[in-house]
Structure 1
């Protein structure tokens, strides 16, 4: 790490780095190496962050949009300038292969770039009044200080999807770095500080998630809560936010169906799906995770999928030859294996993988492909969030749509077809916030990202992502002397 130093092992509050007596360890999931000891925030640390966010908001909201834009652009440039270092830190911290870490780092920079432009485009409007002496004005103003909570699977992109639009709108932010992979969030703070972001506009705390969320959300300082996480955590934060009637955005779990219709090329679709499925070891909220394939082409699809999977190399993410890294935690390793065992016990067939890998030190699970899967198996009901690809068959369009919509999740869905009518109909009838047609890489800074049903509400990315950090103020003005 001589040439790629980690960020400070401290919290970033009010433009300075703060440590605490109590700490928790951060380990490399590939080999168990201790990377850092980070502070466990005390109540007094969180109160300091709240005070900083209140003062930072008072300053930042009055910073002119063009100046906010310039600072956000400098953050984007700073991330790109440190892309190599940032990618290595992420791989050490979270486990994904370096090439995937580099892609995430650049995507995080894109978020700041996009919202650097959007900061200058927070538009209000005027409405013609009924009375000629009255003017009706609608302004978009920042909602206020934000408490942001992001998951560990994309430890740079997920917090940035909250930080960048919030700052663009004029809000201040307190981010809780995910305990499982916190170093990327701290590196974002380091880069933002170097870019000249005013003290208090961005604060990063570390430690015990439930304790941090309870204290931050209970504070009158916080006016908005944003979470990327699991459905149970989302439900708990909603309950906490309800007490203070706070604005909330939720990007929660997913269980994305992939519908492969009979006119699709089964081999091409299978190889694309295999590569996408096992990205980040399947630890992706919009990961394709239920493969519903028309019975006429299911055999060819499953054979090509398994063949592509067997060619993936499992190993330490620092090795350029690695395609699939370790799972981030031992908890995920155990949960994934339980899902596979349940499916096999109920009659599923293992076409590839099927268990933990015999590699020393890390949380490695072999990319697994299952056929003969039925809808009552746990892997088809619960979000797998790991390297499992269950393949099932369907006979009709209506059956495919009905089964795709039969879970409480509604984040993303995917369709493979060469027929334009099928593409439109499936895209319209899938109960998801996002749909990819013949495409699995759909997340981008300029488009809204989010779900429906238990996958949450609110959007991140695009113009919609900025709107979630503003409120509409209506001004009714009677002309003087009228």
Structure 2
């Protein structure tokens, strides 16, 4: 991996790079605790300036044709692919993701820009049969207005493009607020937006205090739409704060994904699926398998084969192309994993492989871990771990699997492994989750709807539904007399 130059990065408001007079926030590499750059510690003032810029740019941007807006997005898509390596390296430096995963994320992020560049051309209205001969009834689609996009640290490119892509394609203007843990990827994408020639104010990037920037966003009536990915706790706060101005919300919140392996499953395929789901980004994904339920008939075989594959994973600095598991994002993340592990072992779970934190050379790592003989009394089966730990519970039947899987306030993703078509349909129909992988541990794609049920969120991102969230339906009754 080539060395990436680090420096003091700026934010972008109304087409200008600003913030050099503000205090700064350090961005740290979790693999070694090195400070790799800084960003401005912006607050309410900067957020308000960005909102005003987006509001000023909205009229002219929304009046462009869908084809004209698509042209800008297609340029951005190509620039992301052309600069894939640079963006991926920055991503790995700031949040630890193995470089091969970072490269994959940049491609995935670009795919949302490409998809919505085309999908913006397919925002269709309606002509409705009239109840009277002297009237014509139509539905027009209009962009919702200024959009604030608040994104998390774990997928700093894809979560951004999954929001800005449909917003821009629909004719909205955007204020982006990335996580302070990993803001540099957003800065790089903003640089590419500038190269793509987007008009001033159409896309704005603000870094700094989450609470202060969020307050400015929620208090400003120029912002008509909030799109947020993050914790359920913060999502609930945003719902309450949005009430005063009845802002529109899209929320992709917490998950606690169950993965079910039934007796008739192809065990090797199930192991492959769990590996793909559980250990991507060191288990720091909202849809990774957090609770693994394996039916008794294949339990021992699955545990043995799964542990064998987990033991092959290499832990280390994500800059190394051979590394499979990078660091956790920070010490608090490692502490949470350790708490879940300690609680499980204390209550009778057995560590099959792994189970150790690693803090050498200032890094924040945890060995990829398999834990068997877990049960519902353990914290690890009740809370999202967000780390490279796979807890496995033995179950007796598909009925038990469904009952345990649904026993959570969350409903983002679930996984089922069975070769019986009737059984697969029967189980999935009873699962209360927005996304289900059937014999598939990696279900995400730009062209499909992504989102959860229950406390895992509101709305869907991706697919044709992803752009619906950024348009309003305007009914028009035309009198013909």
Distance 1:442 1:130, change over 3 A: same
Moved beyond 4 Å, runs of 4+ = 1-8
1:443 match: 444
Confirm or deny that 1:400 pairs with 2:395: no
Counterpart-to-counterpart distance in 1, 2:309 and 2:423: 27
1:242 match: 243
Range 403-412 or range 418-427, more displaced: 418-427
TM-score after normalising by structure 1: 0.97
Per-residue deviation, residues 48-86 of structure 1 (Å, max 9, x unmatched): 111101012122111111000111111000000000111
Contact 2:352 2:369 in 1 (8 A): yes
SS in 2 for 1:140: strand
Distance 1:379 1:2, change over 3 A: closer
1:44 match: 45
Question: Could you tell me how far 1:3 is from its partner in structure 2?
Answer: 6.8
Q: Please list every run of 5 or more consecutive structure 1 residues that lacks an aligned counterpart in the other structure.
A: none
2:95 match: 94
Contact 1:115 1:164 in 2 (8 A): yes
1:327 match: 328
Question: Could you tell me how far 1:5 is from its partner in structure 2?
Answer: 4.4
Per-residue deviation, residues 427-460 of structure 1 (Å, max 9, x unmatched): 2111000111110111100000000000011000
Contact 2:44 2:215 in 1 (8 A): no
1:17 match: 17
SS in 1 for 2:54: helix
Q: Where does 1:296-335 land on structure 2 (aligned, <5 Å)?
A: 296-335=297-336
Counterpart-to-counterpart distance in 1, 2:14 and 2:106: 25
Question: Could you tell me how far 1:275 is from its partner in structure 2?
Answer: 3.8
Contact 1:327 1:333 in 2 (8 A): yes
Per-residue deviation, residues 255-291 of structure 1 (Å, max 9, x unmatched): 1111101011223312431343111000000001110
Contact 1:150 1:228 in 2 (8 A): yes
2:83 match: 82
2:127 match: 126
1:179 match: 180
Q: Where does 1:8-407 land on structure 2 (aligned, <5 Å)?
A: 9-19=9-19, 20-357=21-358, 359-407=360-408
SS in 2 for 1:175: strand
Report how many residues are paired: 480
Counterpart-to-counterpart distance in 2, 1:439 and 1:343: 28
Counterpart-to-counterpart distance in 2, 1:63 and 1:356: 53
SS in 2 for 1:61: helix
Contact 1:7 1:183 in 2 (8 A): no
Question: Could you tell me how far 1:211 is from its partner in structure 2?
Answer: 1.2
Counterpart-to-counterpart distance in 1, 2:473 and 2:7: 38
1:427 match: 428
TM-score after normalising by structure 2: 0.98
SS in 2 for 1:296: helix
Per-residue deviation, residues 284-324 of structure 1 (Å, max 9, x unmatched): 00001110000111011111111111110000111011010
Contact 1:54 1:221 in 2 (8 A): yes
Question: Could you tell me how far 1:7 is from its partner in structure 2?
Answer: 8.4
Counterpart-to-counterpart distance in 2, 1:7 and 1:137: 53
Per-residue deviation, residues 320-377 of structure 1 (Å, max 9, x unmatched): 1101000111110111111111111111101111121253221111111110100121
Q: Please list every run of 5 or more consecutive structure 2 residues that lacks an aligned counterpart in the other structure.
A: none
Question: Could you tell me how far 1:45 is from its partner in structure 2?
Answer: 1.3
Contact 1:147 1:217 in 2 (8 A): no
Counterpart-to-counterpart distance in 1, 2:338 and 2:60: 50
Distance 1:407 1:240, change over 3 A: same
Counterpart-to-counterpart distance in 2, 1:3 and 1:129: 65
Counterpart-to-counterpart distance in 1, 2:122 and 2:256: 35
Distance 1:438 1:89, change over 3 A: same
Per-residue deviation, residues 200-251 of structure 1 (Å, max 9, x unmatched): 1111111111111111111011001111000111011111111111111110
Counterpart-to-counterpart distance in 2, 1:229 and 1:387: 19
